[in-house]
Amino acid sequence: MRRIFVLLVVTATALVVASGAAADALTCGHGSSCGGAAPGAPPGTLPFTGLDLAGGAVIAALLLASGTVLRRAGRRRQ
């Protein structure tokens, strides 16, 4: 169980660091934004999609917990 926890912490940390690096403003070779920004948005920003990341994290945690419970219940029966 400890290995799984360590793996989850390392993965979450890597995802946070990678998302921060990917969130840097992009510019093309000639200095303007490379497109993809919503009209009226400052250059170099990504459009807001409305995706609730906290909700997705909660659902992922619930799925992980239910999988762990089912796996342990299966081991006890054998």
In-domain check, residue 68: yes
Q: Is 19 a domain residue?
A: no
Provide the pLDDT for residue 66: 93
Residue 24 lies in a domain: no
Helices (H), 1-78: 2-22, 53-77
The Cβ of residue 9 has, within 10 Å, a number of other Cβ atoms equal to 10
DSSP 33: B
Residues 32 and 43 sit within 8 Å (Cβ to Cβ): yes
Q: Domain range spanning residue 61?
A: 52-78
In-domain check, residue 59: yes
Q: Tell me whether residue 2 is in a domain.
A: no
pLDDT at 51: 72
**Total tally of structural domains belonging to the chain:** 1
Instruction: Identify whether 5 is part of a domain.
Output: no
Q: Is residue 74 part of a domain?
A: yes
Query: How much is the pLDDT for 68?
Result: 92
Q: pTM of the predicted model, to two decimals? A: 0.38
Q: Which residues of the chain have pLDDT under 70?
A: 19-48, 77-78
**Within a domain: residue 37?**
no
Res 44: pLDDT = 62
